[in-house]
Structure 1
Amino acid sequence: MKIAFYGSSLLSSYWNGAATYYRGLLSDLAGRGHTITFYEPDAFDRQQHRDIDPPPYAAVKVYPATPEALRAVVAEAAEADVVVKASGVGIFDDELLEGVLAAARPDAIRIFWDVDAPATLSEIKENPGHALHRALPALDLVLTYGGGPPVIAAYEGFGACRCIPIYNALDPATHHPVPPEPRFTADLAFLGNRLPDREARVEAFFLDAAARLPERRFLLGGSGWEGRSLPANVHHLGHVYTREHNAFNTTPLAVLNIARDSMAAVGFSPATRVFEAAGAGACLITDAWEGIELFLEPGTEVLVARDGREVAEHVAALTPERARAIGTAARARITAEHTYARRGAEVDAILRAEARRKGTLAPARSVA
């Protein structure tokens, strides 16, 4: 099928945590015979912080952040068999959603792909005039980055025909163990941009743990933390490019995952960082959220903490040998059960079933 995908950015992870997710899924779908065009705006300095060149699995059209350019890329939706509007583009989100739905052919499969469903659902609930209230009846599918049963029930309660979570996963060719890099040496490392619904949890789980272990070294990666008061034993790296993520995850004794407020509250929403870290064989410590055992087994494949005190206790008790054992077990579980090849197969099957329902034939070949 010919897929037109309107998202934040495929080329840059700068202020764009969905980049790894897009790359893993779309790469696999291209391998199954789908032809993909990814439309991303030139906004938020993302094009000045590219991680990758345009990849072979998708044509990438970068358009100026102007109304005229928006109209031009929206019109191209008419050429696609599948039209996808992702959440969180960051500019012209409502106009993109309404525009591509209007431009899509009647027989096209129309999808809203939500990469932050808990936050989006909160917006829909609070705003009766939200564009999704108008768009949901015209959509064939809502696919989400995570969220499990609570998100499915919420979206279908708002009128979605079908809501299906497509969870984050691992691309083993991209995220894997590498030799340690001295500049990433630490007892605990955390990677995440400074965001309003994350900062308090970073304080509670990461900075509190650092304050409790002043003799240990902590590493903070991500944008927006400049000027933020940090404990003396916390070193801030700034933006960490995706090409550096393997070394960032492999080198420290352990790495920390902290869910944003909305995702922690809903559960069933493992971040891309969980799979990246596990793929690199890292010993992962995560904040507690419902559904973790669907992805990693607490105690043997991941360490779970309810607050900064428990994070500090995990770090203090870890030996290099135990950290390696946990990381090895996590990598085995994720590579066996949670890869983008599995997610891509799931999406491919969904598209084929939807095409049959709409009475169209899906030309994409099946790949085992």
Structure 2
Amino acid sequence: MSGGVDSSAAAALLHEQGHEVIGVSLRLSRSDRPSAPGRCCSPDDLDDARSVAETLGIPFYVFEATELFDRTVVRPFVASYLDGETPIPCTACNREVKFGHLLAKARSLGARLATGHYARIEGEGPRRLLRGVDAARDQSYFLYDLGQDELNDLVFPVGGLTKAQTRDIARRAGLRTADKPESQDICFIPDGDTAGFVERGAAKLGRSLAPGPIVTRDGEIIGEHDGLHAYTVGQRKGLPSAALGPAGHKLPIYVSELRPASNEIVVGPAAELEKTTFRVAKAAWIAGHPPAEDETLTVRVRHRHTGSACTVRASGEGFVVHALEPIRSPAPGQSAVLYRGDEVVGGGAIERS
């Protein structure tokens, strides 16, 4: 129970259905500061989760996970940015904390684990992971590395509902989280300043930040950056005002590549962002095996990406995506998640070209 409306409604639904429900929150930070609007995992959120449990009349516990969260989510997040990637902390948190540590806790109690994720689980051997019914809230993109072992003991009670229906359930149960604002951005960066957070985290990892050149694909230096961590592939903001292209046909420039080895940012016109082939590492397959190479699937390279048709070829511990049409800005560190209609097939982390 994060203290938000989704996990609150999930608990209420399970309680209504007659299940024995135990509410659990995770303490992920030692900070006692009140949360800003739209944040999650703060002391205020623990209070909200406790209030929901009291209203429902269910036991409630807070499990300490600060060190685990820092070691498996926060520090790798900082290191990934320093390495010129664009990481997704929610995926790491799901894998290591919620569906790793917390699921193990649930199993030790003889229980299954329910969360407020907008995704669905169907089928009996093998289990299938599907998009949430509410397309605007669907969170299946962050769950691609769940396997059959985890899916057998997971429940997503609100995955078949819209957000409006979820809020109605919370209101019907008299929960104070019913109209709570959405959590946004990254929960452990309270001011939204990702670059500043990475700068502070770099010192703790013994990593240094240094300015470096901004170059074109041909090697022409057109400016200087303050650190790779402040940029991501596809970014336009913060670049020099120079434009590229033939005389009279100047084009705006974007970050097309980050080169940590040489500390260079490569920029170019939008056309350089288009990719039809890219590699993906650390493949995870929901059914335990990759799809057939001739099967046409849909790949999403960002949470808000609607998806592009592709085929894939397994390669070592990863796979290669062959898109049927160019995909804009598949950024290293982001996830490439494969779908067969609404069903999640699997995914992995996009590698640097």
TM-score, normalised to structure 2, is 0.28
TM-score, normalised to structure 1, is 0.27
Pair member with larger Rg = 2
Structure with the higher fraction of residues in helix conformation: 1
